[in-house]
Amino acid sequence: MGSVKSREIHEINIFNEKVRYGTGDDKNKTLDRTEPTKTEKFGQSGQWKVIFKSWSNDERWMKSTKAMEIPGYGVLVQVTTQQGGRVAEALESVQGVMLAKNEDGTYRMVAGVPA
């Protein structure tokens, strides 16, 4: 008999956002973002674009870099580090750049001012 291939679904909380991902034989983990049922929002969501994000559930850490365009100026860049229950964040404005979408759906900063 052949072996049974297992696939696990994990759910983690990153800044009160539930993120589900699968593990198993496929080496490319895909994120399935699901909203908690009792989420409340104010303002436009999705303005922050992820530049980079990495984490380890086993070691309980996460690092991310996000950016938001400011029309006529440039972008705000937010860097977040979470380790265990501790969170550190930094915010910096970068003048004269805008966000460009990569083929894989991620973003990068390029020279130019957003309209």
Nearest Cα neighbor of 17 from 72, 73, 80, 69 is 80
pLDDT of residue 39: 72
Secondary structure (DSSP) of 13-59 = EETTEEEEEEEES-SS--EEE---TT----S-S--SEEEEEEEETTT
Q: Which helix (H) or strand (E) holds 89?
A: strand 86-95
The count of residues in the chain is: 115
Q: What is the pTM of this model?
A: 0.61
pLDDT of residue 74: 93
Print pLDDT tens along the chain (115 aa): 444 444 444 454 544 455 554 444 444 444 555 555 677 777 777 889 989 999 999 999 999 999 999 999 999 999 999 999 899 999 999 999 999 998 888 899 999 887 6
